[in-house]
Amino acid sequence: MRGRRDPFSRPLDRILEALRAGYLDAYSAHPERMGIWAACCPSCRGFSFGRRTLTICESHPGAAVALCCQWGCSEGEILAALYPPPKPPPIADPLVVGRLAVEVLAHRRQAAEGVSA
């Protein structure tokens, strides 16, 4: 038995899922042409006169996806907006960490004195 491909692993599906994850779920399929979708551009957030400014084209199922923004965003800019790099974790303020450590030690000391008393 041959291995089956996940039907939702197509490049188009990943693009549409990224649009949904980025709260840009205002996309729709072209009413007459299969493989053409329209969406709000994640790079410029363009929305012109009630029309979505990003065109997403898939020539056949599983093919590479072409992205075209009416406002001129490049595919690289669109993909960077769809898949932003992960944010680094916040750096803890040493003073806050020090104060918390002092509070924890004081609490432990009080708990130890209360148990031994």
- Specify the residue for token string 């990224």: 18
Around Cβ 17, how many Cβ atoms within 10 Å? Answer: 13
Percent of the chain's residues with pLDDT above 90: 16
pTM beyond 0.75: no
Amino acid letter for position 51: R
What are the structural domain ranges in the chain?
Answer: 11-86
2 against 36, higher pLDDT: 36
Mean local confidence (pLDDT), 6-34: 80
Report the distance separating Cα 67 and Cα 78, nearest Å. 8
- Each residue of 35-92: pLDDT tens digit? 899 988 888 876 655 567 899 999 888 889 999 998 899 999 999 998 888 887 777 7
